Amino acid sequence: MINNLFKVVALVSLLVCSSVQAEIIVVVNNANAAALTKNDVSRIFLGKMKKYTPVNMSSGNALRAEFNKKALKKSSNQVKAYWSKLVFSGKGTPPKELASDAEIKAFVASNPNAIGYIDSASLDGTVKVALTLQ
């Protein structure tokens, strides 16, 4: 019985982990010619570089959690605590949140200084890849 339960838990864990491992691409407006490094992206999404207007996936989104881990080197809770501290002290405002790849693409496509991230499977001609996170 316990052996079967262990197998079920292992299988579910494997399925959940594999579904979260999407390839994340950081996208900018097609008119934007800047090349970005992972460090640049981290600084932008942590409010340390003001050249861009960043947009996040909504809180609790699996792609956002993976982005936080890969780009910011922080857990979602660490990012939330970071922004809470800045907001409380009046030193920053977290990036706007949108619910889907489509909404992020539309925002970035209509905003020359916007930057966001999406699943690579959602890429089309409306935005340009600035960085692929691995």
CATH number at residue 53: 3.40.190.10
How many folded domains does the chain comprise? 1
Per-residue pLDDT tens digits for 51-95 = 999 999 999 999 999 999 999 999 999 999 999 999 999 999 999
Per-residue pLDDT tens digits for 102-122 = 999 999 999 999 999 999 999
Per-residue pLDDT tens digits for 88-97 = 999 999 999 9
- Burial zone of 99 (CB within 10 Å; 0-12 exposed, 13-18 middle, 19+ buried): exposed
Tell me the residue range of the domain where 102 lies.
Answer: 22-133
Q: Is residue 15 part of a domain?
A: no
Residue corresponding to tokens 């405002």? 93
Q: Is residue 98 part of a domain?
A: yes
3-state secondary structure of 9: helix
Q: Is residue 26 part of a domain?
A: yes
**What residues contact 68, with CB distance under 8 A and at least 6 apart?**
74, 75, 76, 78, 79
pLDDT at position 133 over 90: yes
Q: Is the pTM of this model over 0.85?
A: no
